[in-house]
Amino acid sequence: MTESLPAGAAGGPPGPHDTDTDDPLGSADRTDAVDVWTLWIPDHAAAAAARSGILDPEEAERAAGFQDPAARRRFVTSHVGLRVLLGVRLGTAPQDVTLVRERCGMPGCEKPHGRPAVAGHPGVHFSLSHAGDIALYALAASPVGADIESLDLVGGGLERMARRLHPDERRALDTLHPTVRQEALLGCWVRKEAFLKGMGTGLPGGVGAHHVGLAAALAPAWAPPGPDGWALLDVPAPDGCHAAVALRLQGPAGRGRIPTIRTSRLLME
C-alpha cells in the first residue's frame, strides 16, 4: 500500500503529496485497472473546510442540510477529497470539475439518478463510499462501484442484511463457523453494494437478484461465479471494516481477467 497520495490545493499548484509517485493516477487510464484511495476524515476536516468553496452549489446545499455537525464534516471532507482526486486526474482545478448523474441503471427507468459522473469525460469513472470517519474512493476507465462498511456501525443489522442476500450467498454463509460468519457477511455485503453502485442502480437493483459471493478467501469451491462482465475485488481496509470494488470489464478479452488494483491513502494539506 502506498503511504501517501496525490492531493492538490484548490485551484493552485500541486501539494506536497501530488508527486510522490511517478504516475499517481495513470493506471486509471487502463480498462483493466482501478485505483483505490482511503481518507481518514478527522485528520483532514480542517483542510477540507478551508477548501469547501470548491464544492458546487448542489454539494454546498446538501452539506448545509445536515443537522449533525459530524455528518456535515464527513460530507464536506469526503467530497472535497473527491474533487481533489478528480482535479489531479483531469489536470484541472477541482472546482472546475462538473459532476452529473447518469441515467438510472434500472430497466425502463430513464431518470438521471444513476452513477455519478464527470461531465465531458466519458472515460473517467469514479465511486465514493464512507463508513463513519473513513472515506473510500475508486477511479477507473470503465464503470466502477466502491463500498466500505464498519462492523461496529452495522452491528445488529447484519443478520437482517443476510436474509436479503442471494440464496447461494446465504448457503455459503451457513457453511462457515460462527466465529467468521460476521466477517464473511460484511465482506459479501460490501461486494454487493459495490456491484449495484457500479451498475448504477444502488440497492433497488436487487440485493438478492445478483450473486457476488463471499470474499475470495472464504468463498466455497462450489460457489457460482460472480456477475458476468464484472470483476469483484476485495480491498484492504482498516481494522473492523471491509471494503470492495466492482469494475466492469471491457470486451470479450476481459472475461476471467483479474484487473490490476492499487490502494493508497489520500492526504490533504
- Tell me the pairing of strands 33-40 and 260-265: parallel
Phi, psi for 229 (deg, rounded to 5): 85, 5
Contact 77, 48 (CB under 8 A): yes
Among the listed residues 104, 7, 119, the one whose alpha carbon sits nearest the alpha carbon of residue 56 = 119
Phi, psi for 180 (deg, rounded to 5): -115, -5
pLDDT in tens, 97-119: 999 987 665 566 556 556 889 99
Share of the chain above pLDDT 90, in %: 54
User: Which has the higher per-residue pLDDT, 243 or 267?
Assistant: 243
pLDDT of residue 27: 44
How far is residue 242's CA from residue 183's CA, in Å, rounded to a whole number? 8
How far is residue 157's CA from residue 214's CA, in Å, rounded to a whole number? 18
Contact 141, 153 (CB under 8 A): no
Number of domains in the chain: 1
Domain assignment of residue 4, yes or no: no
Stretch 141-148: mean pLDDT: 94
Query: What residues make up the domain containing 162?
Result: 33-265
Stretch 62-80: mean pLDDT: 97
Three-state secondary structure call for residue 205: helix
pLDDT of residue 4: 39
DSSP H helices, the chain, are 45-50, 57-64, 69-90, 151-154, 158-162, 167-174, 178-199
Domain assignment of residue 209, yes or no: yes
Domain assignment of residue 21, yes or no: no
Write out the three cell numbers for 27: 493506471
Share of the chain above pLDDT 70, in %: 79
Domain assignment of residue 7, yes or no: no
> Would you say residue 214 has pLDDT above 50?
yes
Contact 245, 221 (CB under 8 A): no
Domain assignment of residue 2, yes or no: no
> Would you say residue 77 has pLDDT above 70?
yes
Write out the three cell numbers for 250: 471491457
Write out the three cell numbers for 244: 470492495
Domain assignment of residue 101, yes or no: yes
Element (H, E) at 246: strand 241-248
User: Which has the higher per-residue pLDDT, 250 or 109?
Assistant: 250
CATH number at residue 82: 3.90.470.20
Residue 82 has a CB neighbour count (10 Å cut-off) of 25
Contact 14, 8 (CB under 8 A): yes
- Tell me the pairing of strands 230-235 and 241-248: antiparallel
Domain assignment of residue 42, yes or no: yes
Stretch 16-24: mean pLDDT: 34
Domain assignment of residue 218, yes or no: yes
User: Which has the higher per-residue pLDDT, 106 or 264?
Assistant: 264
Least confident of 86-90, 104-108, 114-118, 200-204: 104-108
